[in-house]
Amino acid sequence: MIISGFTMVRNATKLYYPVKASILSILPVVDEFVIALGDSDADDRTLQEIESIGSPKIRVIRSAWDVKRFPGGAEYARQTDIAKGHCRGDWLFYLQSDEVVHEKYLPEIRRRCEALLHTPTVEGLLFRYRHFWGDYEHHIVSHAWYPREIRIIRNDPDIHSWRDAQSFRRIPDFDGVDYFRRTHTRKLRVAAVDAEIFHYGWVRPPGLMQKKTVAFESHRLGGAEPVAPDAAPDAFNYGRIDRLKRFNGTHPAVMEDFIRRMSWADQLYPANPRVIRHKHDRLKYRALTFVEQHFLRGNHIMGFKNYELIRV
């Protein structure tokens, strides 16, 4: 059995992505790690960060981004497919560069891959998610956030990254352009794995979080400027962090350096007097979340679910 790790990335160090920790977190269980490295800015050091790992398992594929041709986040899916196309494994383990796996889950992940290798009805593995917000002590449990997602898939040419690369879908005769296609496609049949993805995409200094948000919105708009530069705030407002769940567990060991660098606690609520209501803090989603957590064992009511879970 061969497992390939893969990801796509651009301007990771400039925008405070823990790309090195992400790669290191699954490097012990993969036989290779393929990275589609986009045309980063001159002041970005993502390539140097990757090279500092010094592993012969890592292969870097240089790629150019085209957000005008692939708007709406589709360029993320295209870049993911570029990396996927260079993988040689039976199973392909995808992590975005702000996602990290705790080392305690690695044996179970490998065991599950081995157990299901010759069960062709299983096209992927479904992971639980823990979404951190603002710092490393608070995480979001909300109807507004996805609780599970596919992160391991079979090496099948008809399986493609979908929409903005959050998930995967079977797309026969794919034209290489329409990453939002629904017709003549289907959800993957997946099995659960008892493992969790630690998602740090919303843990950054507020200034860098704002730059990342503006960059993402620009990509969604096909490269257009999302807001006038003089109207854009210079720091992201995380809102009511004190309402979120506290995290009392341990973080992945590879995140220790990033966590030590945490230096923006005084810029978070309640130090910031201007309260912003993010989607997860709105009354509608707080009510839905209460029902789901207290009466439905965390299962979402009509939530987004781009997979078909099968019991094996």
Tens digits of pLDDT across the chain (312 residues):
999 999 999 999 999 999 999 999 999 999 999 999 999 999 999 999 999 999 999 999 999 999 999 999 999 999 999 999 999 999 999 999 999 999 999 999 999 999 999 999 999 999 999 999 999 999 999 999 999 999 999 999 999 999 999 999 999 999 999 999 999 999 999 999 999 999 999 999 999 999 999 999 999 988 887 765 555 678 899 988 988 999 999 999 999 999 999 999 998 865 555 677 899 999 899 999 899 899 888 889 888 899 999 999
pLDDT for residue 238:
92
pLDDT at position 303, please?
81
Which residue, among 161, 153, 170, has the nearest Cα to 5 in the 3D structure? 153
Residue 302's pLDDT is: 82
pLDDT at 240: 86
Report angle CA 53, 131, 193 to the nearest 5 degrees: 75
What does the alpha-carbon distance between residue 176 and residue 70 come to, in Å, rounded to a whole number?
10
**The residue type at 107:** P
The pLDDT of residue 77 is 98
pLDDT at 271: 54
pLDDT recorded at residue 195: 98
pLDDT at 273: 57
How confident is the model at residue 117, as a pLDDT? 98
Measured in whole angstroms, how far is the alpha carbon of residue 310 from the centre of its chain?
A: 23
Residue with tokens 């017709």, as numbered in its chain: 183
| pLDDT value, residue 71 | 96
Cα torsion 238, 204, 92, 107 to 10°: value is -90
Candidates 238, 67, 236; CA nearest to 165 is 67
Torsion over CA: 59, 64, 66, 67 (sign): positive
